[in-house]
Amino acid sequence: MLLQLLASHPEATVPILRGTPTWVWGLLAGLIALGATQLRDRTVGLTRVSLLPVTMTIFSVWGTFSALGRSSHFEAAMFVWIAAAGVAFALLGAGRSNAQFDPVRRTYALPGSIVPLLLILGIFLVKYVVGVELAMAPHLVQDNQYVLTVAGLYGALTGMFVGRSFRLWRLALRPALAAVPA
């Protein structure tokens, strides 16, 4: 809906951006800075590796609840959110990580990647666009297709984050699993 509006009425862009609270731009700047730290090679511990997916999962769940919590389709939306997260997790979590884990130091040597930045921006953009659309057309919260699409997007992005991190967590667990007698 928002994209259709902006495509047919590009002059609506400035009023929409002006109507956006200032704190949203601060949040975007912070998220971009956080994502930018993922672009370069770095060494981090398990807590740091876990912090980003946990934070973005909370942001995704908050976005889903705040946008769709009053929908009559909320239960179905949560099912779709969980299913999309599960599928994305299964697809990405099964892969191999390019990172190296040092079991002595309990740190990861992570190669730089643009993927975390893109996932962060994806969750932010879904939250922003849905917020604008629901402000302009509150009835969309009762549109089953709209609600399920939004829930699916949030769930898939979350599953991608957690799936990518699971690859790293698996590296940390591998030495412990290898020590368990068969």
Tell me the pTM. 0.83
> Cβ contacts of residue 122 below 8 Å, gap of 6+?
153, 157
- Residue 11: inside a domain: yes
- Residue 171: inside a domain: yes
Residue 15's domain comprises: 2-176
- Residue 182: inside a domain: no
For the record, the structure tokens of 152 come out as 């699916």
- Residue 168: inside a domain: yes
- Residue 165: inside a domain: yes
- Residue 120: inside a domain: yes
pLDDT tens digits for range 20-71: 999 999 999 999 999 999 999 999 998 888 998 898 899 889 989 999 999 9
Q: Could you give the number of structural domains in the chain?
A: 1
- Residue 181: inside a domain: no
3 state DSSP class of 62: helix
